[in-house]
Structures are given as C-alpha cells and as structure tokens.
Amino acid sequence: MNKIILTLVVSLCGTFIFGQNNKISGVVFVDTNKNDIPDKDEVMLSNILVSNGKDVVKTNSKGKYTLSKIEGNTVFVIKPENYISKKNQQNSVQFYVPFDKIKELKNYNFPLLPNAEKKDLKVVLLGDTQVDVMDDIHHVGKLVTEELMNKEIDFIVPLGDLSFDNLNIFKPLSETLGLIGAPVFYTIGNHDLNFKETAFQDRDKSFESVFGPSYYAFEYGNQLFLVLNNIYPVNEKGYTGRLDETQKEFITNLIAARKDNFKSIHLFMHIPLEEMEDKDWVIQSLAPFENVLISAGHTHTQYHKYFARETGQPIHELVAGAVCGSWWEGPHDLDQIPFALMYDGTPKGYWTVGINTDGYTYDYKVSGAPATKQIDITVPKTNEWDTTLNILNDTFIYANVFAADEFTKVYIRFDKGNWIEMTKYEGIAPSVQKQYYLQSQGRYDSMKISKFPKPETISTHLWRIEKPANLPAGAHGVQVKALGETIKLEAHANAVLWTK
C-alpha cells in the first residue's frame, strides 16, 4: 500500500514539474531606458496579444502573460500599434523568444519601444529573391538596397524563397536588406525549408534561427497584418500549398481576438491563395473582415486575382513577381546582373503598397529604371545590320503592362490622333521570345550564364493591336496608356514605328 502511495506521489510530482517546465510567463512592458529589464517606473502593457503559435492570450492589467510551450514552436508577442520590439543589426524585428532558449526558459519578458506610426503606410514587397551564391547577394544590393536606402518606408516584407535551397545564405541576405533601414518582416518559402529534416517541426528551423517564427502577426498603424507559412512539406523534397492544423488554430484565435478592432486584414504568404489546397478554409476564416488583401510570390510572374465572398469586398490578391526575375537567368548587364525577365515579360523589380483608412494603392518599380517605366511596347522593326530578330516580326503592336489587372483598359494612338482600345491578348511576351531566340542563336555562348528554358508562360497583362495599314511611309509616334480603376493604375509609354 505504501509503495502504491509513494509511486502515485512521485508520478504526480513528475507531472507537476513537467507542467511547470512546459509553461512560460513574463510581462510586456515599455522599455523606456532600453535595458531589456522591466524596471519599477516603467509601464506594463495590458491587453497585448502573446502567442505560442497556437494559443493567443492577452496580457493582464499588470502586463503579464502565461502560455504553454509547443514542440518546435517559440513564443512571440503580436506587435501592437505604436510600439515595436528591438531590432537587430539587420533590422529584423526581435519579437520572439530565441529558438535556442525556449526549451529551458520559464520566464521571458517582451520589452517594447515607442514607435510613431502614421495612418498612411508605405510597405515594400519583395517577391522571390532566390539567392544562392554571393553574386546574387550583390544583385539584391544593387537592385533593391541601393534604390531604397533613401526612401521613407514603414516596413519591408520579403515574400519567401529568400534562398535557392542554400540556407547558409540567409545571414548575408538579411545584412544586405537591413541596410535599407526599415524594419523587415520575413516570410518563408518552399526553397527556405530544411528538407533533410525528418521531423515536421524541424523543417523550418534554419529560417527560424535567423528570422524567427515562420508564421506570426503584427499590428502597424491602424492595420492588422498576418504572415503565414503555407508550405506543407511532403516526403523528402516535395511540398503542397496548405496550412498545418496548429497554424489554423492560431489564425482562428487571432481573428477571434482582433475581429472587433479591425475592418481590414493583410496577409503575406509565399504560395498564392489559388494554389492552396485549403483556400476555402482561408477565405471562410477571413469572413469577419470587410477588406482583405493578400500578397504572395512563388510564380515568378505577377498578376492580380479577386475572390468573391458572401459578405465584404472581394479578396484582392497580388502575386508580386520576383526580385530575381526568372531565377537570375539570361545574359548580364554591365554590373554583371542577369536581365532575367520574369516569364511573363516583366522586368525585375519590387512593389510598394500604400495603405490608409480609405483604401490602398499598388505601385510597381522596375529596378534600375525610372518609376515611369510601367509598359513595354513592342513594334515591328526591320533591321538592316543585325537582322537576327527580324524573323520575329509580325503585323501587331504589343503592350505589356506590368502592374495591370483583368479590369485594366489599354489604349493606343498614332501621331497624336484618336485613342483606340487595344485587345487583351493571351500569349507569350515578345520580350521573352526575343531573349530566348537570341540565346538559341548562340548570342550568349561565351557568357557564364544560367540559360532560359523555352518560353511557355502566357502573360496575364499583355495587349495588342494590328498595325494600321493606312499609315504613310516614314516614322510615326506611338503612345500607349493604361487605365486600371480598381488598382488606381495610370501608366503611359511611347515608341517609334517605322513603315514602308
């Protein structure tokens, strides 16, 4: 009998100790003197959300939280409006318990610093950077960092596929992007996973060791932002687009806690919504919000999609192309940067999203080009010296409008005459065809390049019109304008057309 009682006591004690070790507590406070310690005269923040990647709790009147630990997860604070966690030298926001410490810690405090936040936000989106070697890091520095250093930006969001399966290059990339000066909130992509790990919870550990949780949320200005990990590993190297069940619980709990505080929510993720197996669950879960914006990468093309809902405005998704274009492929310019046109003919670049209480705007910037570079016009050209591309001439004039959506209207006029509407065309971008043809003719054989595959991608933002047959011989001015009411797009471009 005594043995049974003793065994029961030991068992209960063990359970109690395990339960204690499986909990973490702390406070969220305003770190006025920036010493990371909650001093007596510093303000403890109540009603701040803290999460373990599943449960979402609010700090009490004394700023305290308590959460269970989850294997493979850490604990993080959901950044509140007008406050921010400290940033490291790479300007990554340190809003989480370091992964290498979470198992041993019983207490962890989240120091927050005041952060003046405007109601009108400017957010920069970086599609797949896909860096593999230091050459690519130099490219990102030239194409993104140097252009944005002097810009007023609230924060930056790389949209996954930060690397090209080289997980050791995360740090150099973060150092390069950190030089811009704005806070950086990172998203994970399929090329950022540890596929050699057998345990599901370890597949994102290299990403997490540098950037923190692979899914989380934060508030900025008067807006709510949600960063997702929608890469679900399958077998040794495969993946599918969907959310794991723990992440779904986090989303459900976050929305329950904040649906009455925000009319809008903004999602950042790698795989586009239309490619997710559980897209209907995602759409349904976002029902409490009147407006939903989604930004994604993955496809190395760019386009807009709209998803109708039973209530609220249609969900607007932007697939934001890729900083690397088409995986850094093709011939190089004078800075040894590959031209790497995206497969829909869009030149490499990045997006700036303007967000305010009245709505939002999308602006695409071609890296290394003026902000006005929004349209690529292709007219028939008959060369006399280098005649290689003459074979690609046809009877049409094409306009590739990089930022256009399905509702955009494109017009053309000749010699400042009347505007004529161009026809939406489902085809391969002429610029991609030209580059591939030159490659096939051996133009780049002496260069150390990654070659383009045969073009097959149909551009979603291409228009064309037959060349007028009644133009007199000589040079003619061509003007194109694109108007997109839904996305507030107005773009203009000019070209010269020669006729015989």
Q: Per-residue pLDDT tens for 468-482?
A: 999 999 999 999 999
Residue 55 to residue 48: CA distance in whole angstroms: 13
Is there a shared CATH topology between the 121-366 domain and the 375-499 domain? no
Token code pair at residue 79? 């950044």
**Overall fold of domain 121-366:** Purple Acid Phosphatase; chain A, domain 2 (3.60.21)
> How many C-beta atoms lie closer than 10 Å to residue 80's C-beta?
18
**Overall fold of domain 2-114:** Immunoglobulin-like (2.60.40)
Collapsed DSSP state (helix, strand, coil) of residue 428:
coil
> How many C-beta atoms lie closer than 10 Å to residue 469's C-beta?
7
What does the domain layout of the chain look like in residue ranges?
2-114, 121-366, 375-499
Residue 192 to residue 348: CA distance in whole angstroms: 21
pLDDT tens, 195-236? 877 677 788 889 999 999 999 999 999 999 999 999 999 887
Size of the chain, expressed as the number of residues it contains? 500
Spacing of C-alpha 300 from chain mean position: 12
DSSP state of 51: E
Q: Yes or no: is domain 375-499 CATH 2.60.40?
A: yes
Under the banding of pLDDT at 50, 70 and 90, the label for residue 12 is very low
Residue 343 to residue 454: CA distance in whole angstroms: 10
Q: What is the largest CA-CA distance in the chain?
A: 110
Q: What is the pTM of this model?
A: 0.93
Beta-strand pair 302-307/216-220: unpaired
Spacing of C-alpha 379 from chain mean position: 33
Evaluate whether 203 touches 100 at the Cβ level (below 8 Å). no
Under the banding of pLDDT at 50, 70 and 90, the label for residue 364 is very high
pLDDT tens, 441-470? 999 999 999 999 999 999 999 999 999 999
At 62, the amino acid letter reads K
Residue 376 to residue 413: CA distance in whole angstroms: 15
